Copies of this chain bind each other. A is one copy, B any other.
Amino acid sequence: MKIGQVSEKSGLPTKTIRYYESIGLVAPAGRTAAGYRAYDKNDLETLKFIQRARSLGFSIQEVSALLMLWNDRNRASAQVKELAKRHVEEIDRKVAELQSMKETLSTLIDKCHGDDRPNCPILNDLANVR
C-alpha cells in the first residue's frame, strides 16, 4: 500500500502520516524502489489505532504511551486504565471551564437587548463598568 491508500483507510491525511513518522510516533515506513513509502496491514492497523486515540482527544504524547502499552503483551491493564482516567479528568476540567464561560456569557447576552441602541451590557461587563 502507498500512503494514499493508508490515508484513505485510516482516515488520516497523508500530511499527518508523514508528520507522525517525522516525530517518531510511528517507525519509518518501508520504501519502494522509486522511494515511495510502502505500508503493510500492520502499519495500517497502527495508524487506525492512532486515529481512534486522537479522535478521543488523547495527545500525541498520550498516544505514544498507549502505543507502547498496546505493543506490550505483558502490560497491566491498570496502567491503561490510569492513563484513560487521567484523560477523562482533563476533559472534565475543560468542560467545566467552557461551561463557566458559557454561563457568564449567556447571562450577559440575556441582559443585552440587541437592537440599534448602543448601550450594551456585554461590553460594559468586559469594560468592568458595573
Contact = CB atoms under 8 A, between A and B. Distances in A.
A60 interface: no
A75 interface: yes
Interface stretch (A18-26, A33-41, A80-88): A80-88
Interface in A92-117: 92, 94-95, 98-99, 101-102, 104-106, 108-109, 112-117
Which bucket holds chain A's interface residue count? Answer: 35 or more
Contact of A126 (B70, B78, B94, B109): B70
A73 B118 CA distance: 7
B66 A126 contact: yes
B66 A123 contact: yes
A72 B120 CA distance: 12
A16 interface: no
Given A70-B127, A95-B95, A77 B109 contact: no
Contact of A109 (B81, B92, B106, B112): B81
Contacts of A80: 112, 114, 120, 122-123
A56 interface: yes
A48 B118 contact: no
